[in-house]
Structure 1
Amino acid sequence: QGCPCTVSVSVLGLTVYISVFLSLTHLPLNGRSLLLSPCLSETPEARVLERAVLESRVREMEEENRQIRLQLNQLQGTAGQPADGGNYGNAAWGASADTGPDDVENTAEERANHTECPRSPTILKCELIHVACVCAGHNASRDVVTLVKSILFHRRNPLHFHFITDAVANQILSSLFQSWMVPSVQVSFYDADELKSEVSWIPNKHYSGIYGLMKLTLTKALPSDLTKVIVLDTDITFATDIAELWAIFRKFTDKQVIGLVENQSDWYLGNLWKNHKPWPALGRGFNTGVILLYLERLRRIGWEQMWRLTAERELMSMLSTSLADQDIFNAFIKQNPVLVHQLPCFWNVQLSDHTRSEQCYTEVSDLKVIHWNSPKKLRVKNKHVEFFRNLYLTFLEYDGNLLRRELFGCPSQATSESVRLQGALEELDEDDQCYDFRRERITVHRVHLYFLQYEYTPAGDDTDVTLVAQLSMDRLQMLEAICKHWEGPISLALYMSDAEAQQFLRYAQASEVLKNRKNVGYHIVYKEGQFYPVNLVRNVALRNANTPYVFLADVDFLPMYGLYDYLRKSVVQLDMAHTKKALVVPAFETLRYRLSFPKSKAELLSMLDMGTLYTFRYHVWTKGHAPTNYAKWRTATTPYKVEWEADFEPYVVVKRDCPEYDQRFVGFGWNKVSHIMELDAQEYDLMVLPNAFMIHMPHAPSFDISKFRSSPGYRYCLQTLKEEFHQDLSRKYGAAALKYLTAQRNI
């Protein structure tokens, strides 16, 4: 730390981020700032140019960062062992049994060349780095994404993440990484339920519960041929390349098996309050938020038996753990100090109200890993907390799409999905006027399922119905109203950027209505491309409904009070379990932002007669709902069947296994129409419910409808896609589908 010619790589990482951020926010284009100009993004062409320039600038800054790192490595020269936070193994770095020709160059020469500027150990250019995390539940799954982003931002090596998860985190993270498709990143999952018996016998008072003990089981949980791994808590943020930490394994002596940073609080000194009795520890003890585990050696010395014996012995007097696995690790190390390699404290700067983390560093530029090891997270007291908070927020809101970059010079193992996508992309004609539309259809969007806590078990009578809808940031204000009108489960897909997703999170957590509803599944589909992939977003919400039936709605409609119970009764009445039916919920609209919502069909009919309400889109798109036959509905007392007509797009209740929406339709136009056509092609009966209704609430027109109205090219491509959809429908359903083409030509 004190060496005048040593420049921390973390400085580079932070400098690159600040440079990129300033460059991107002030990058001139024809004398104007890209991100600060509200007018520049008004056209698709300008937005495409903006995105291209931004991506180009990011690549330039990454290359500058790489060149600076190379220059610094040359300046640092060759030297012996770097200053360390302590080494209980008492063996020289170069004497390690693991030292090989690729680990240390000219070792003897380096020992002779005693300079003040030590050189850190290096790793092979494309060496695979293994990282393990225990992650359970919705909140931890959200936290771990920020950790992963900070690692991916700085990394120059292939990575293999190993997640020990419960069923919830497994579903969330497997979907996220599958859709993220980051090159040179592998992901493996291990079932935490299979490991619970290993640690469930240990009484534990820590807020992390049983999952806070599972790092003890990693030698058993991870593959037997995995020799070493970096183990991280989910509340970690990297400010440097994780390869530097991985390289420290090469500094372990023959006997060392665990690498840890000293605990920066007084917890293990036992002086925090009267009669405070912590578990035994070596000095201040060690923090287990960042661990280097030499798995191969741990297995060799019988780690599983050793930590169990340690825990059993100490529990006789301590009765329970207070800090979960950390207590047991420290008690083990107290008995076996030769097995620990103490890492410099900047590899785990622990931020909480009771730590002395400020003594760990002289400048914030020295930092490599920041550990928010407190439930209070960003509210801890530290003179540099604003800097730490900004660094954390940077990765929290960082566009994950920018992390899909290839590792140049390292072979990337292509997945079947990436090969399929590459083939589909090569088949596209870039000179096609509708290329952008076709390109959107094969774009893979990152998806974060269950962004907030979700707890709901469908009713046991197999009549349960989930309201399914999608939205973007400009419709967020509708959520509270919908929750007040619909007490049943809801599956919502939200199309947002990383930064918008965090704004939504704050909004939801501040809302008394939303935070008390655990039966709403929020699924984030991250923005990419120039079109709103409305049907793809709808499909994400549809796939993740967990009830037998779904109510396919739009978020700008309010269901009538009691509709949830009425639909469940209708499911039974119309025997939907044994027939193919789509139950139509008649749609109405108001032009008033303040509406006294009708409490019954009679009240709604009265408002229709007074002109307070209208049948939906009667004045701009009559065909969309005319087949509902509103005149018949006024007096109907029983469900009645209607026939499909061209451009019919009602809101319906169907079985969950209904056809998905056709994802070629993006933005505005034909996205619901095509879906109803396919339901009809599959011979669903369209049944209008006599005592159901929903009301569309007014709002500003979407950006996509404005593009449709103003762009002849947009309308031409939509017509082209419609014709291709008809052709595909004919191939799929044969002569029965010819009526759709005929109906379209007669319009």
Structure 2
Amino acid sequence: MTFLPESVQEYVGLNVTMRLRQLLLLCVAILLGIFFVSVYLTSGAGGLDPPSISFPSGHADSGVGSGEQESSLIVRRLANDRQDGGTNGVPRPGKDALPVEAEREKCQFIHIAVVCAGHNSTRTAMTLIKSLLFYRSSPLHLHVLADGPAQLILTTLFDTWDVANLSVSYYLTDKVKSFIDWIPNKHYSGVYGLMKLVLPHILPEDLYHVVVLDTDIVFASDVAELWRLFEGFSDQQALGLVENQSDWYLGGIWKNYKPWPAKGRGYNTGVILMDLPKLRALNWMAVWKRVTERDLPIMQSTALADQDIFNSVLKDFPEMVYDLPCTYNAQLSDHSKSKELCLESQTGFKVIHWNSPKKMQVKHRLGRYYRDDYLTFVAHDGNLLRRGVLGCSNMSIEERESGVIFDESCYDFERLADLKFRTHLYFIDYDYRSGGPTDLTLVAQLSFDRLQMLEPLCDHWNGPISLALYMTDAEAQQFAEFVLDSEMLSSRRNIGWHIVYKDGAVYPVNYLRNVALSQANTPFVFLTDIDFLPMYGLYDVLKDAIVQTDLLNQETKALVVPAFETQRYRFSFPANKSELLPMVASGDVIAFRWDIWPKGHGATNFSRWMEATSTYTVEWEPDYEPYIVVNRNVPRYDNRFGGFGWNKVSHLMMLAVKGYELIVLPNAFIIHMPHAPSIDIAKFRSKSQYRKCLTRMKQEFVRDLAKVYGMKATKYLIS
């Protein structure tokens, strides 16, 4: 063993003793520091003063807060959408307050409210939402004040869009109309243009902040930047608004026009930051109503809807408003001075507002530049926005599918059974109510390359139509322009145009059929394809046949409409069966696919039909796929079948298993018009793997049929 010299041992011992003393002193200092900090905090020092505003008692938001520490907890609760219900106190994010940590954490929800009513408004709302999702860095919670049609459309859209870190709440406009329908409004938005006034009344009482937006807005920045401006509100400021950028409230636009009262230039209400507890504490509903009742006898009506009333209130209570930077509501109307008042002193606009009835056709010097930005979001593939906020809790589509095992060789087919296709119902205005117990809707689907069939179809069929259209976002915009530019199509309000956005390599034909079928609001449906033109007057013929065949009382009957085809692009369409028969005899018209796929329609028995004067019943046969009239409660198509092959065959097999009786109509027909082969037909004919996958799906379908129906399905499985 090695021993240290005595002098060295003494040195080492002294060093250890000194270090122990230093450590002891450090511990004492830490304990004293903790003590003084606790005394400091409990004494109320450090700027954590209680709010200076007194709120009325007896309200869920009426308690007086205990400072910014409690404020941070409250905001965090609200941002996380918790419904604890025990919150006592309203935070005061004044200018001298500490930063609200919860609002700066990117995984806290930002709350956004919009009013969306009618079919067409949902299109502009989607462009707004795309821009929000594109730039966002935080989860979003949308509060949508909608009428019945808009709620149906948006519910379906968001459910099928399946965007991560996005939640939606709905509030029906019918429940709040009575609050504002007594106010005459000349604005093109009608009664819905006044509904932002009632948001503090209808939004959840434990919601603290909300950004209120018009739907004709597009973002060019992260909405979180706008959200953080709440931190700048003083005790009295409850509304954040951008100054109006025209001379409207200065009276400098039209002669002999008297604007509503306003503070200076007034404020534009396309973008509003609302501090809801403060507004409720001020009894907001009573305040704006009292001001409106005072000014309405003089003004007679509102010209700019809720904006006039907001400005009149702020004229009386200017301390309520927080002036937002002009870039957060760049107004592009005919008379806007947004370039002079805002752009020349800023680096660019963060929020663009098309606040004119002309929208993108507005005559504004910046209109062309920002129109391109707007159209970029219109055409942007919304499927790319499904991703969540990086770092926030989220289950992606890939994670949900991770437990499903797909055969890579048939992946595109197998995923069809469970894939959610983003679906926008009633893309264009629709207004039709069923015309009686025998009314029926023509149901079909199409892609962008079949748009040329729409006008001929509408010429032949004057009844209601439900169409599912498979398109990209850019094609959907072109389609809308196509319809609105067509005098025939734009005049029809009984056509439901339902957009299903492209996703994947296989045309989801049965998914499309199910979408169109689900939106038929008549007792009966005529299931056909877009390439067929009905005989003139078929709508009335079928309604009569429904009565004659007692389809009203027997749901398990299907009326077969015989299908023919022609290879001539130009020919005189037969008005009735008498004109059709000579064309069949000459070969100008033949039974559909008789020359290449006789099984498809052979069971209709065309030779018998040529001479028939009354209905007759036919039996199901393998591969039979007629076009039929059935009750709208008919079983849906099997979504597994996409592309070309067996999509209608499987459906009719299902009906046969369920005991449907097939009745051929003697005086009805449709004719298939010539067109170029689809991509899926080309794939079927050229790729063996495509055919193998189709065979596999057939086998799976019949096995599933046997599992459900047992012996009843034996006949169909053997065949």
TM-score by length of 2: 0.85
Q: Does 1:232 align with 2:208?
A: no
Q: Deviations over 1:310-349 (max 9, x none)?
A: 1111112112111110000000000000110010111000
Over aligned residue pairs, what C-alpha RMSD do you find? 1.9
Whole-Å separation in 1 of the counterparts to 2:114 and 2:336: 23
2:646 pairs with one of 667, 670, 682 = 670
2:309 pairs with one of 315, 318, 328 = 328
Deviation at 1:228, TM superposition (A): 1.2
Deviation at 1:364, TM superposition (A): 7.9
2:708 pairs with one of 707, 732, 745 = 732
Deviation at 1:406, TM superposition (A): 1.8
2:125 pairs with one of 141, 144, 153 = 144
Deviation at 1:98, TM superposition (A): 6.0
Whole-Å separation in 2 of the counterparts to 1:435 and 1:289: 46
Whole-Å separation in 2 of the counterparts to 1:319 and 1:386: 36
Deviation at 1:381, TM superposition (A): 2.4
Q: Does 1:300 align with 2:281?
A: yes
Q: Deviations over 1:623-681 (max 9, x none)?
A: 10000000100111111000000000000000000010011111000000000101111
Which secondary structure does the structure 2 equivalent of 1:163 belong to?
strand
Q: Trace 1:385-396 onto structure 2 (pairs within 5 A).
A: 385-396=367-378
Q: Trace 1:275-286 onto structure 2 (pairs within 5 A).
A: 275-286=256-267
Which secondary structure does the structure 2 equivalent of 1:362 belong to?
helix
Letter in 1 for 2:138: N
Which secondary structure does the structure 2 equivalent of 1:619 belong to?
coil
Deviation at 1:740, TM superposition (A): 1.6
Letter in 2 for 1:696: H
Whole-Å separation in 1 of the counterparts to 2:450 and 2:493: 20
Which secondary structure does the structure 1 equivalent of 2:170 belong to?
strand
2:392 pairs with one of 407, 410, 420 = 410
In structure 1, the gaps of 5 or more residues are 1-95, 104-109, 112-119
Which secondary structure does the structure 2 equivalent of 1:492 belong to?
strand
Whole-Å separation in 2 of the counterparts to 1:293 and 1:301: 13
Q: Deviations over 1:272-298 (max 9, x none)?
A: 222210000000000000000101110
Q: Does 1:198 align with 2:179?
A: yes
Question: Which residue does the alignment assign to 1:29?
Answer: none
Question: Which residue does the alignment assign to 1:219?
Answer: 200
Q: Does 1:184 align with 2:165?
A: yes
Q: Retained in 2: the 8 A contact 1:428–1:438?
A: no
Question: Which residue does the alignment assign to 1:90?
Answer: none
Question: Which residue does the alignment assign to 1:512?
Answer: 487
Letter in 1 for 2:166: V
1:397 pairs with one of 365, 379, 384 = 379
2:457 pairs with one of 467, 478, 482 = 482
Whole-Å separation in 1 of the counterparts to 2:547 and 2:646: 31
Q: Retained in 2: the 8 A contact 1:533–1:663?
A: yes
Q: Does 1:557 align with 2:532?
A: yes
1:427 pairs with one of 404, 421, 425 = 404
Q: Trace 1:216-615 onto structure 2 (pairs within 5 A).
A: 216-359=197-340, 360-362=342-344, 365-412=347-394, 425-430=402-407, 432-460=408-436, 462-579=437-554, 580-615=556-591
Whole-Å separation in 2 of the counterparts to 1:497 and 1:151: 20
Letter in 1 for 2:362: V
Which secondary structure does the structure 1 equivalent of 2:113 belong to?
strand
Q: Retained in 1: the 8 A contact 2:160–2:422?
A: yes
2:618 pairs with one of 615, 637, 642 = 642
TM-score by length of 1: 0.82
Which secondary structure does the structure 2 equivalent of 1:137 belong to?
coil
Q: Trace 1:632-711 onto structure 2 (pairs within 5 A).
A: 632-711=608-687
Q: Retained in 2: the 8 A contact 1:428–1:435?
A: no
Deviation at 1:121, TM superposition (A): 12
Deviation at 1:203, TM superposition (A): 1.2
Deviation at 1:433, TM superposition (A): 2.9
Whole-Å separation in 1 of the counterparts to 2:219 and 2:613: 64
Whole-Å separation in 2 of the counterparts to 1:489 and 1:610: 34
Whole-Å separation in 2 of the counterparts to 1:429 and 1:614: 42
What is the number of residues matched between the two proteins? 627
Q: Bigger CA drift: 258-267 or 573-582? A: 573-582
Whole-Å separation in 2 of the counterparts to 1:702 and 1:127: 47
Q: Retained in 2: the 8 A contact 1:130–1:229?
A: yes
Whole-Å separation in 1 of the counterparts to 2:406 and 2:154: 34
Whole-Å separation in 2 of the counterparts to 1:121 and 1:358: 35
Whole-Å separation in 2 of the counterparts to 1:694 and 1:700: 19
Q: Retained in 2: the 8 A contact 1:428–1:439?
A: no
Whole-Å separation in 2 of the counterparts to 1:726 and 1:514: 41
Which secondary structure does the structure 1 equivalent of 2:120 belong to?
helix
Q: Retained in 1: the 8 A contact 2:470–2:512?
A: yes
Q: Does 1:712 align with 2:693?
A: no
Letter in 1 for 2:272: I
Q: Deviations over 1:343-402 (max 9, x none)?
A: 011100000111101121128852100000001111222332222000000001100000
In structure 2, the gaps of 5 or more residues are 1-65, 76-94
Q: Retained in 2: the 8 A contact 1:351–1:373?
A: yes
Whole-Å separation in 1 of the counterparts to 2:188 and 2:365: 27
